[in-house]
Amino acid sequence: MANIQERRDKSGKLISYSIRVHRGRGADGKQLKPWTATFEVSPTWTEKSARKKAEAFAATFEKECREGTTTDSRQKFAAYCDYVIGLKEQRGVKHSTIVRYKELTGRIYPAIGHIKLRDLRADHLNDLYSHLAEDGQSKRGGKLSAKTILEHHRLISTVLEQALKEGLVPFNVASRATLPKVEHKEPNYFQPEQVAAIRDALEREPMKWKTLVHLLLITGARRGEVLGLKWDKVDFAGNRVYICNSVLYAPDVGIYEDTPKTERSKRYIALPTETMQLLRRYRAWQAAERLRLGEYYQDRGFLFAQDNGNPMHPDSVTDYLKKFSKRHGLPHINAHAFRHTMASMLYFNGMDSVSISKRLGHAQVSTTANIYAHVMEAADQKSADILGDIFLRKA
| pLDDT reported for residue 68 | 65
Whether residue 198 is found in the same domain as residue 320 = yes
User: Mean of the pLDDT values across residues 207-228?
Assistant: 96
Quick one: 187 exposed, middle or buried, by C-beta within 10 A (0-12, 13-18, 19+)? middle
Q: 395 pLDDT exceeds 70?
A: no
For residue 35, give the 3-state DSSP assignment.
Answer: strand
Domain end residue (candidates: 124, 149, 176) = 176
Residue 392 in any domain: the answer is: no
Whether residue 219 is found in the same domain as residue 285 = yes
Q: 95 pLDDT exceeds 90?
A: yes
Q: Domains in the chain: how many in total?
A: 3
For residue 306, give the 3-state DSSP assignment.
Answer: coil
Residue 286 banded pLDDT, cuts 50, 70, 90? very high
- pTM, full prediction: 0.74
Domain span at residue 36 reads 3-67
Whether residue 210 is found in the same domain as residue 329 = yes
Contact between residue 107 and residue 206 where contact means Cβ atoms under 8 Å apart: no
Residue 2 banded pLDDT, cuts 50, 70, 90? confident
258-262 long-range contacts, Cβ below 8 Å, gap at least 24? 258/94, 258/95, 258/96, 259/94, 260/222, 260/224, 260/225, 260/228, 260/361, 261/94, 261/222, 261/361, 261/363, 262/361, 262/362, 262/363
Rounded distance, CA 45 to CA 94, Å?
55
Residue 62 in any domain: the answer is: yes
pLDDT in tens, 27-60: 677 787 788 888 889 989 999 999 999 999 999 8
For the four alpha carbons of 142, 145, 146 and 150, in that order, the dihedral sign comes to negative
User: Mean of the pLDDT values across residues 289-308?
Assistant: 91
Whether residue 52 is found in the same domain as residue 104 = no
